Amino acid sequence: MPYKISGSKSETSRIIVLKESDWSIEANTVISGSGVYEVDELESGNKLVFGRSNDGWIEGFGNVTPVFYESAGLILWGWGNNSVGQLGLGDTTKRLAPVQIGTDNWLSIGSGGNHVLAVKQDGTLWACGYNLYGQLGLGDRVNRSSPIQVGSLTNWSKVSCGNNGHNLALKTDGTLWAWGNNSYGPLGQGDETSYSSPVQIGSDTDWNKISAASSSSAGIKNNGALFMWGINSDGQLGLGDRISRSLPVQVGDLITWNKIKPAGDRVFGIKTDGTLWAWGANGYGVLGTGDIVPHSSPVQIGSDTDWNVAQGGIYHSAATKTNGTLWIWGRNNYGQLGLGDTVNVTGPTQVGSLTDWDIAGGYGYSTAAIKQDGTLWSWGQNTYGQLGLGDEIHRSSPVQVGSATDWNSISPDNSVLALRSEN
């Protein structure tokens, strides 16, 4: 009888089954959506089953003395720029290598360059760093160098930070909240008034995924409809024009969107059929369309139907496919494309020939990626030590960060936050 996994996430997740006898990987597969999935015929004996996705853990069970981590305990680590205390270490000293931040278990993290937000597994929300626009959500504009709880609620589930000082957050009831800098209306309140405490966006309770960028915001509802709002100077809202919006507006009438990731002045979206789409500014060919022409409506990147995740830095982009390959394109002045040179590329180009990449993302002029074995790799600009390699030397090819094999997720910027499984 095959081992069965019960998926409870609405996005693609990776299921890994370990043999307790020697902790080797016996099954490693990708599932999408909720339901029960048959994985493989497995040897008898105890198993450790866990799921990895950008949104957390999924449930599992087995037919042979199953052992399951409903939560493996995720510990927060940080490194890179810390000029305003955004690493939450109680000081303003930058770190050139990963440093553990406390001992609490965390669920979701977000980095906005000079401020960070994180949700603990108990549903509480915490913030630290720069607070000029009230982006810490604490009702004031005082910087913090240690994590401070935002309010007293225990029903927060996801956070996303924009680089210009605004945030989005989801609660477990499906409501969407925002606060911080509201220039061009990324808080979705119908105005441009900044808020130093969380305010709800509308009254809907069916928001599923969120992402904040530089003065723009995006959200996907449970039915797969995509909404965007905020600045639109480069067509980054995907609405066919360059008019900014201060309220959420649906992008087209399709309800087939699965993942969304704004990146500065452009956006990447993946549909439920695995196709990759992009729109917005296109300097250095950062959209991956093979040219440098901006687009104010979604444009499909190639014809492949196996894209997994996509995320962009300032002028470059990175993505992985479900087959474990890593692809990258755009500006390459610091070697952020990982191709061993500094030559720009205007369309998706594979990094090496390995097929064990899981998640990847560009940030600033750097790139970070996690492999299926839980190892963390980085390359590109390293001015602030954001590569986590213990120095400030730029790299043009992927380099492993330490030797840990339990990295779970990463929210990269010049200040980097990441989660590791509890030892």
Mean pLDDT of 6-23: 61
- Could you list the residue range(s) of the whole structural domain that residue 26 is in? 4-68
Q: How many structural domains does the chain have? A: 2
User: What would the mean pLDDT of 200-227 be, rounded to a whole number?
Assistant: 96
Band of residue 334 on the pLDDT scale cut at 50, 70, 90? very high
Residues in the chain: 423
Say whether both 151 and 28 belong to one domain: no
In a shared domain, residues 223 and 364:
yes
One domain for residues 38 and 94: no
pLDDT in tens, 367-410: 999 998 899 999 999 999 999 999 999 999 999 999 999 898 89
275 and 245 together in one domain: yes
Q: Please provide the distance, in angstroms rounded to a whole number, between the alpha carbons at the two ends of the chain.
A: 32
Query: Is residue 64 domain-shared with residue 110, that is, in the same domain?
Result: no
The 3-state secondary structure of 367-392, one letter per residue: EEEEECCCCEEEEECCCCCCCCCCCC
pLDDT for 5 equals 52
Shared-domain flag, residues 244 and 363: yes
Q: Does 26 score more than 60 pLDDT? A: yes
pLDDT digits (tens, 9 = 90+) for 122-175: 899 999 999 999 999 999 999 999 999 999 999 998 999 999 999 999 998 999
pLDDT value of position 128: 97
User: Distance (Å, rounded) from C-alpha 285 to C-alpha 269?
Assistant: 17
Q: Where are the alpha helices (DSSP H) in 227-325?
A: none
Same-domain check for residues 105 and 199: yes
Of 6 and 24, the structure prediction assigns the larger pLDDT to 24
Would you call 393 exposed, middle or buried from its count of C-beta atoms within 10 A (0-12, 13-18, 19+)?
exposed
Q: Looking at the structure, do residues 57 and 113 belong to the same domain, yes or no? A: no
The last residue of one of the domains, among 47, 68, 89, is 68
Indicate whether 30 and 87 sit together in one domain.
no
**What 3 state SS string does 305-326 have?**
CCEEEEEECCCEEEEEECCCCE
Q: Are residues 99 and 55 in the same domain?
A: no
Q: Are 178 and 162 in contact (CB under 8 A)?
A: no
Task: Tell which of 13, 48, 68 closes a domain.
Answer: 68
Task: Check which CATH number belongs to the domain holding 103 and give it.
Answer: 2.130.10.30
Residue 47: band (very low, low, confident or very high) from pLDDT cuts 50, 70, 90: low
